[in-house]
Structure 1
């Protein structure tokens, strides 16, 4: 009996690594953390930016969100990371004017990380060319044999003709990159698109038409029907008390023949990210989406 136990224990220790996970869930967030230096832009957010950023990092840890993509993570980056405990995080590309402000905090390991600068930017309505804004790419491993390509973007802001043209170019650039680098893969695209379905000239539908993706907000809140362009009736408060309004912060996704992916819940999470006195921490309302995946 004693010798049988000696043999059995090593065999049992091997079981977890030989059993492949075939399904699972995770949640994903996009959050513009308003990290421009206060002297350049206070974002209309009350309070001290360092203190606000520290609280954002603490709340990232408290809620244990699986995959977080942030934008405008510039000059308070060290504070954000000092207060966050996610095990996998991208290294900063620098503050203004050197970095893109794009970073990822994840509970899952990732590979093939790349930063790509926009081909086109505009300074007409906002200083979009001040920093090397663009998008990032990574391949996130959620389980053995289960990887999803994740893109984080921050598109050109403003509403002039030059800004609209630059922003459309930005989204086309990401779409083309997906076509070239994510062939037959499951994909997540999220970030500050600065785009609205309700704004004439914006093209947030490109990921659907060119890359076979779904917008989680359109799918789960609007039954797949995009709002009509030419109206601002769907503008959101911050934080938003409902999900029927539209923000520029968006999340698109698709599954693949290897990994089915399904958005299950969409929410604006601004009420989860407030200062202790109830004030907002950023001028953006973060978007939080729950997903389920199945290995085919």
Structure 2
């Protein structure tokens, strides 16, 4: 939701009421409606008021008002394990004062439940329709997909579910906009496009402009968008809605953007699960999920360590081997026998050079055998596989050592059909129907995450 938080002297927005009062009402509405996740843009000089009246337990710290901050913040029921702010490489003042603030996007890895993470991006691109604006905005989206998400999603979110929220300042009907890169580069689905039948408006067609005030339906196009790509470990689907519940009070609108609500539901695969992540969000992202065979079985594990956990390898019975971290330390190996699998891994972590890393790992099998490496610390936890599951892969972040680590578990029966839905290493299997009326999706272990636009999530 764009909360129109630029100082009134710079951008009065033309809405009734003063901005401080309107922001107070927005914060109160956010608390009252209690969406799972809310992403906001233009949260600048009235940020303190917004947070004063909102009650979400997890909220990003402001990056500052104009001209210091990006205006991008998140208010959430759910905590996250990683957060970054990235500035656009290019801006334009051709018709708007976009260079007045460091616009860009934020990235966070949100923990919805044990072992269930969704990578979320909140963005705000260059505004205006002058040639300089179009060049800057195309650069923003190209940067997101060439430097950060084709690359950013590929390098930071491989095999993860991803949701992108934002004030894109773009329309499908505007030929000079490259908004379609969101779908062509990484296979994201626009929740609004799905809700209106699955076909985006044609480039060059007349703009489908929304009427003044609150639209009576979602058939008109707005620049605020939510896009998503699931994986088959956590299959999510979204329903798009215009939402006036957080933007109207005392009979008038509170901001010049209507928030977009998307209700997401997710279903966990019956064949695979993940543990939580342990350690710190540093180093290079890795995820073995997309490389698992259809019925994975662990043959052996090797841990390397001395003062810390330097690295490790998992060898599957299929011949596939996963190696992460560095080559330092001493190697300790454990071969698994018939019917044997790793049921738990104890990890300990601590600080090295100002960053949190894993210092110790001990893997234990269902037959009581174990292997360990590194040194214990005062901060430890044990990841335990669900009944009937065993470790077959890992995910996390690494470098010369292991910064962050979680485990992928497979069920022991041959019912693992999950990989059939995972194409070429990541993020596909987008549901074909997104129904504006649905609230709960699919049977099995599931939940819903309503989200609003730039926006809100209800989970």
TM-score (norm 2): 0.56
SS of equivalent residue, structure 1 residue 211: coil
Q: Alignment partner of 1:190: what SS?
A: strand
Shift of 1:60: 0.3
Are 2:100 and 1:126 equivalent residues in the alignment? Answer: no
Structure 2 match to 1:260: 235
Q: Find the residue that maps to 2:252 and give its secondary structure.
A: coil
CA contact (8 A) 2:30 2:246 kept: no
- 1:216 aligns to 2:186 (yes or no): no
1:34: how far off?
0.2
Q: Confirm or deny that 1:239 pairs with 2:214.
A: yes
User: Hey, what does 1:90 align to over in structure 2?
Assistant: 60
Give secondary structure in 2 for the equivalent of 1:54. Answer: helix
1:34 aligns with 2:4: yes
Deviation at residue 115 of structure 1 after TM alignment:
0.3
Q: Which residue of 1 aligns with 2:249?
A: 275
Any gaps of 5 or more consecutive residues in structure 2? 270-459
| Alignment RMSD (CA, Å) | 1.1
Greater helix share, structure number: 1
Match in the other structure for 1:200: 175
SS of 1:104's partner is strand
Does residue 260 of structure 2 align to residue 287 of structure 1?
A: yes
Q: CA deviation at 1:272?
A: 4.2
CA distance in 2, matches of 1:77, 1:232: 36
Secondary structure, aligned partner of 1:69: strand
- CA displacement 1:60-99 (0-9 Å, x = unmatched): 0100101100000000000000000000000000000000
Contact preservation (8 Å) 1:108, 1:141: yes
- By how many angstroms is 1:270 displaced? 2.4
- The secondary structure found in structure 2 opposite 1:183 is coil
Post-superposition Cα deviations, 1:86-137, rounded to whole Å, max 9, x if no partner, equal: 0000000000000000000000111211000001111111110000000000
The structural deviation recorded for 1:179 is 2.5
Determine if the alignment matches structure 1 residue 73 to structure 2 residue 43. Answer: yes
Q: Any idea what SS the aligned residue of 2:194 has?
A: helix
Q: 2:204 maps to what in 1?
A: 230
For structure 1, the 5+ residue unaligned runs are 1-30
Q: Secondary structure at the match of 1:288?
A: strand
How far residue 215 of structure 1 moved from its aligned partner, in angstroms, is 0.1
Q: CA, structure 1 residues 201+233, in 2 after alignment: closer, same or farther (shift >3 Å)?
A: closer
Give the number of the structure whose residues are more often strand, by fraction.
Answer: 2
User: Which is higher, the Rg of structure 1 or of structure 2?
Assistant: 2
For 2:28, the equivalent position in structure 1 comes to 58
**Which range moves more in the overlay, 83-92 or 234-243?**
234-243
Contact 1:184 1:257 (8 Å CA) reproduced: no
